[in-house]
A = this chain, B = another copy of it.
Amino acid sequence: MANVNSYTRRMPTPDRTSLDAIVDAARDLLEEQGLTGLTMNAVALRVGVRPPSLYKRVSSREQLVQLVAEATLTGVAVRLDRMESAAEVVNEFRRFGHAHPAAFQLVMTPAAGIPTARREFGERASDAMLRIGGMLAGEEHALVAARTLTAWATGFVSMELNGSFQLGGDIDEAWRFGVARLIDALTRVG
* Chain A contact residues, CB within 8 Å of chain B: 33-37, 101-102, 105-106, 108-114, 116, 119, 122-123, 126, 130, 141, 143-144, 147-148, 150-156, 158-159, 161-167, 169, 173-174, 177-178, 181-182, 184-186, 188-189
Contacts and interface: CB of A to CB of B under 8 A. Distances in A.
A130 B105 CA distance: 25
Given A109-B109, A152-B152, A165 B147 contact: yes
A144 B109 contact: no
Contact of A189 (B113, B167, B181): B181
B166 A112 contact: no
B119 A166 contact: yes
A34 B35 CA distance: 15
A148 B153 CA distance: 9
A75 to B, nearest CB: 17
A47 to B, nearest CB: 22
A110 B159 CA distance: 9
Contact of A185 (B119, B155, B164, B185): B185
Contacts of A110: 111, 162
A116 B164 CA distance: 10
A166 B111 contact: no
Contact of A144 (B33, B116, B126, B173): B173
A34 B152 contact: no
A105 B113 contact: no
A59 to B, nearest CB: 18
Contacts of A147: 156, 159, 165, 169, 174, 177-178
A169 to B, nearest CB: 5
